[in-house]
Amino acid sequence: MMNWLMIGAASLALGASGAAMAAEAPRFGDFGFDETGMDRTVHPGDDFYAFANGEWDARTEIPADRARYGMFDMLALEVEQQVRDIILDAAERGGPEGSNEQMIADLFASWMNAGAIEAAGLAPALPYLDAVSAISSHEDAAALMAQRAYQAPYGVGVSADPEDPERYIMRAGQSGLGLPTRDYYLLDTGRFPEYREAYLAYIERIFELAELPGGADMAQAILELETALAEVHWTREDSRDVTKTNNRMSTAEFFALAPSLHLERALTGRGLPAEGEIIVSQPSAITGAGEVIANADLATLKAWLSFHFLSDRASWLPAAFDEAHFDFFSRTLSGTEEQRARELRGVQLVNGALGHLVGQVYVDRHYPPEASRQMDQLIVNLIDGFRGRLERLEWMDDETRTEALSKLSTFEPRIGYPEIWNEFDGLELRANDYFGNRERLSDFAWNEQLRRFPDPVDRRLWSWPPQIVNASYSALMNQITFPAGILQAPFFDMHADPAMNYGAIGAVIGHEIGHGFDDNGRRFDAEGRIRDWWTEETNDNFVERSDRLVAQYNEFCPFEDACVNGRVALGENIGDLGGMQMAYEAYRNYAAAAYPGGEPPVINGFTGDQRFFLAWAQVWRTLFRDDALRAQLARGPHSPGMYRVNGVVRNLDAWYDAFGITEEHELYLPPEQRVRIW
């Protein structure tokens, strides 16, 4: 009886026929949830993540070649195997010169030919290193930094204009560090001092492998130079604030920020115009960097440029460089025990560089059109649910509400795969020239930006290929994107109980919609323009609620000396909380129409609401190595999986009702302390 009810409910929710549902079982368990992964000795009110996932955590080992492992990673590895088959098929068959198959085959072959890379040695890099050696002045150094091949204390690119998202604009921001963030240089807590010592050893090792003199002294000088740059860099909190980083100026004003850097060359050397407008994300950091570089010893600048040229291309060079890079960046900073198999790294390389070519085959082989239709309906249901919440929101005044509803009405969902595919006409790849292939790929990608720069922004473009296990929101385009890769169990299962899909992919849909209304997304209007459409009173109400969410997450500390940064993670946490609120609203709306009396059946002892929350917990099953968890905290912006579960549910009244949570339980929050934003 329960199976019949479950099948009938799923067909009503997602449009699949009862016969189709009966023919195939859910990927996980009886209804889409792996009950064997639960730890029923833990009360859900004390640790909901452990209740739902404790046994899975206990019996699961992180693969030696990974720093973390969870449901995202499991699905990504499955997709990777499908991509591997596509690439190996192309490598075996080949194709006419310039064909998709030929480009895939040649890039993969050039990577797999480790012998040729070893034989080439440092020869492909020598012209670049010779150019560094020829530097005789700070002006020479600035000229080399202006070339894309070299490290610079700034980055320059092209993006949609936040005040006119139909056109492109130049953008610049702080750069120049070798360690992940400024905190790695400036903090003495946790393992940061050890990471700095390991960085010194890594720099010295690169100098040794390249047979460059004075490695130990140069390593210390480079660290001191980058520490000085880190001191003028903006914090992560300020750098993610779209209102603080939207600093529009003329190119002349940009050049004046740091005359010693000769920033006009940073534009013209990249093929960009020397006149026009540019947005500078962190102006004071550019000015500070100019002073640091101007006062730096010339020998240090030359060592810095040489080191980063080699480090950034370690995998293009003989294996000893690659191994040194892995040992520091993966083993030391993330705790990964082993390098991935070369073939799999080659698959990752081709999938990243030529993802749209691979993706066309992937969609044909692995993406059922029915998934798009069902996702369309789920998105409609989520948007309807959120619309209802906005219309009833007590802390938002009518003026702001009208703007919010207008923005919601213009959301553009993109599902499965792009309307148009990136083209690679003119890209030359050679089966025996890996270093050259990487150079040409970099040049081709940059030239594509230059080609598009004068034209209106094409909303049809996807930065991701479809075979990616992820989802995204673009504030400038007001688009939510769900690639084919994530539209699989445990996120989306056409054969699972509806509660599972609403609690998993439904909450992910809600999360991405929620980004349009998080602390940064809310700064953009229905047309994707950065504009303040909030009344002062409603803005104050939002800030008060979001500040309380920051405080809640600041208390999550997996280590005595390292906690979640609730301010840096705020956007993602608002997305999670709002996404679950939207998904639950949509699920209850669905249930009211689908079930007698509006109440879903009990399955395996779990009510519909319980299954909904278990679905959310299941998708965030994640194990971290200690260094990887520290890196997650230090770099952000996402909270670790266990906190994405517990941090959200304790703010939802329906969770308390579903599991009988009382003040006796550790996750309990009094109603007045529960954060309700969206």
| Tens-place pLDDT, residues 51-73 | 999 999 999 999 999 999 999 99
Provide the mean pLDDT of the chain.
Answer: 94
Range of the domain at 155: 123-317
pLDDT band at 13 (very low <50, low <70, confident <90, very high): very low
| pLDDT digits 0-9 by tens, 475-520 | 999 999 999 999 999 999 999 999 999 999 999 999 999 999 999 9
* Count of domains observed in the chain: 1
Q: Is the pLDDT of residue 3 over 50?
A: no
Mean pLDDT in residue range 400-420: 97
| pLDDT digits 0-9 by tens, 296-323 | 999 999 999 999 999 999 999 999 999 9
Q: Does 85 fall in a domain?
A: no
Question: Residue 618 and residue 29: Cα distance in Å, rounded?
Answer: 12
- What amino acid occupies position 309? F
CB 16 within 8 A of CB 500: no
CB 568 within 8 A of CB 635: no
Residue 247: give its domain's CATH number.
1.10.1380.10
Q: Give the dihedral sign, CA 187/188/189/191.
A: positive
Q: Is the pLDDT of residue 23 over 60?
A: no
Place of tokens 């903090």: 187
Mean pLDDT in residue range 141-151: 97
Q: What are phi and psi of 296, to 5 degrees?
A: -80, 150
Question: Residue 212 and residue 365: Cα distance in Å, rounded?
Answer: 50
Q: Is the pLDDT of residue 1 over 60?
A: no
| pLDDT digits 0-9 by tens, 594-624 | 999 999 999 999 999 999 999 999 999 999 9
| pLDDT digits 0-9 by tens, 175-214 | 999 999 999 999 999 999 999 999 999 999 999 999 999 9
pLDDT band at 632 (very low <50, low <70, confident <90, very high): very high
Q: What is the DSSP letter of 221?
A: H
pLDDT band at 9 (very low <50, low <70, confident <90, very high): very low
Q: Does 136 fall in a domain?
A: yes
Question: Residue 347 and residue 438: Cα distance in Å, rounded?
Answer: 15
Q: Does 570 fall in a domain?
A: no
DSSP 627-651: HHHHHHHHH-SSPPHHHHHHHHHTT
Q: Does 522 fall in a domain?
A: no
Q: What is the pLDDT of residue 19?
A: 28
Q: Give the dihedral sign, CA 58/59/65/68.
A: negative
Q: What is the pLDDT of residue 94?
A: 83
Residue from 630, 633, 637, 557 nearest 333 by CA: 630
Mean pLDDT in residue range 551-568: 97
Q: Is the pLDDT of residue 671 over 90?
A: yes
Q: What is the pLDDT of residue 428?
A: 96
Q: What is the pLDDT of residue 20?
A: 32
User: Percentage of residues in the chain with pLDDT exceeding 90?
Assistant: 95
Q: Does 10 fall in a domain?
A: no
Question: Residue 528 and residue 530: Cα distance in Å, rounded?
Answer: 7
Q: What are phi and psi of 16, to 5 degrees?
A: -80, 150
Q: Does 403 fall in a domain?
A: no
Mean pLDDT in residue range 39-50: 98
Low-confidence winner among 19-33, 119-133, 544-558, 651-665 (lowest mean pLDDT): 19-33
Q: Does 239 fall in a domain?
A: yes
pLDDT band at 7 (very low <50, low <70, confident <90, very high): very low
Q: Does 162 fall in a domain?
A: yes
User: Percentage of residues in the chain with pLDDT exceeding 70?
Assistant: 97
Mean pLDDT in residue range 357-367: 97
pLDDT band at 12 (very low <50, low <70, confident <90, very high): very low
Q: What is the pLDDT of residue 316?
A: 98
